[in-house]
Amino acid sequence: MTTPTPRLLPLASDGCGCCAPSTPSATASAPEATTVDATPDPLVTYPVTGLTCGHCTGSVTAAVSALPQVTDVHVELVAGGVSTLTVTGAVPPETVRQAVGDAGYTIIDS
């Protein structure tokens, strides 16, 4: 009996923002940062560029989760495009922007 050879999956992009910085596409349309819920624990979304893989999303998630008053973080990855970062908690947008920048990625200005 022979063991099948595992197939390698193709990469979503030529370079990973966390391993090999790449320039975001100038033609990508960026959604604006919006407040989805005005409860005491607001839910805010941010358009983020530079994310290309699970490691990138993990880096952003860890950086933003470490901020005071953040109760939840979710990243919807669009490899090589404009991903969506959703943050739950009463944290100022400039603090989120700084944490994402410190992780090596960019929140697009609206």
Distant-in-sequence, close-in-space partners of 1: CB < 8 Å, separation ≥ 6: none
In sequence order, what DSSP letters do the residues of 52-90 get, joined into one string?
-SHHHHHHHHHHHHTSTTEEEEEEE--TTSEEEEEEEES
Residue pLDDT, tens place only, 23-63: 444 445 555 666 554 456 789 999 999 999 999 999 999 99
Q: Are residues 65 and 37 in contact, defined by beta-carbon separation less than 8 angstroms?
A: no
Residue pLDDT, tens place only, 62-95: 999 999 999 999 999 998 899 999 999 999 999 9
Q: Are residues 14 and 21 in contact, defined by beta-carbon separation less than 8 angstroms?
A: no
pTM of the prediction?
Answer: 0.66
CA dihedral 23, 45, 30, 96 (to 10 degrees): -40
